[in-house]
A = this chain, B = another copy of it.
Amino acid sequence: MKVLVWNENRHEQKNPKVREVYPEGIHGALRQFLEEAGHDVSTATLDEENHGLSDARLDETDVLLWWGHLSHDEVSDAWVEKVKQRVLEGMGLLVLHSGHFSKIFKTLMGTSCDLKWREADETERLWVVDPTHPIVEGIGSFIELEKEEMYGEHFDIPTPDELLLLSWFEGGEVFRSGVTYKRGRGKIFYFRPGHETYPTYHQPQIQQVIKNAVNWLAVKDTVKPTYGNHQPIASIKPKG
């Protein structure tokens, strides 16, 4: 499967602490374990030409991962629109952590995607609330992260199609941390954890969820709907 990992890649340039945790960048860390899972993975970052995107790359991508934070506004509207069209055509989209505020997520949701937040080295515990779902295979009852950024409700998203994971935060809040959506012919998964200064993407259960999600997000041989004027199939009686 062709997977494209998009990362803003700015924290990595500015903050030695982030570089220490992710020497190859967040995109590099994601790329590595997805390649080990057998996928054909490439990466793209904000400061490359066209943010590292092209029509051809999007056309051949089965699943796109998106991590951004500082510079959502610098992603051009034209590329956001192209990514959106590809999602509606069937490309899977995995939005990570602060990507909740990316243009691509907000335009696909139709809401502000706002939330409460706090950076305080606090413990997060993500509880599985849907034990049937392929995305939570192999992770047990919960994932515990000793230190993470807090995201708290109200999370201004549409009602999820599926709610898979609920987070408990040490400081007193809760959050819908793993949610799925369908948009057009495409599927979307939002997965909360992944603050840039913590080694979250090195955690085996977190990697498992992301690997499961990539498999689940790929849409295969379903119909590509046609729209517009349509001839009747059954006969219509003349009316008075």
Contact = CB atoms under 8 A, between A and B. Distances in A.
Interface residues of A, number: 84
Given A108-B110, A228-B116, A236-B120, A129 B176 contact: yes
Given A121-B236, A171-B232, A171-B236, A223 B131 contact: yes
A233 B132 contact: no
A154 interface: yes
Nearest to A139: B223
A156 B228 contact: no
Interface stretch (A6-14, A45-53, A57-65, A182-190): A182-190
B154 A129 contact: yes
A227 B116 contact: yes
A222 B168 contact: no
A237 B147 CA distance: 11
Interface string A163-199: 1001111111110100001111111000000000000
Nearest to A119: B229
A88 B111 contact: yes
A141 B225 contact: yes
A166 B166 CA distance: 9
Contacts of A24: none
A153 interface: yes
A133 interface: yes
A219 B138 CA distance: 12
The 5 nearest A-B residue pairs measured at CB: A171-B232, A172-B233, A116-B230, A154-B225, A172-B234
23 contacts: A88-B111, A108-B110, A114-B227, A114-B228, A115-B227, A116-B226, A118-B230, A121-B236, A121-B239, A122-B232, A127-B152, A128-B225, A129-B155, A131-B154, A136-B223, A158-B182, A159-B163, A166-B166, A166-B174, A166-B176, A170-B237, A171-B233, A173-B233
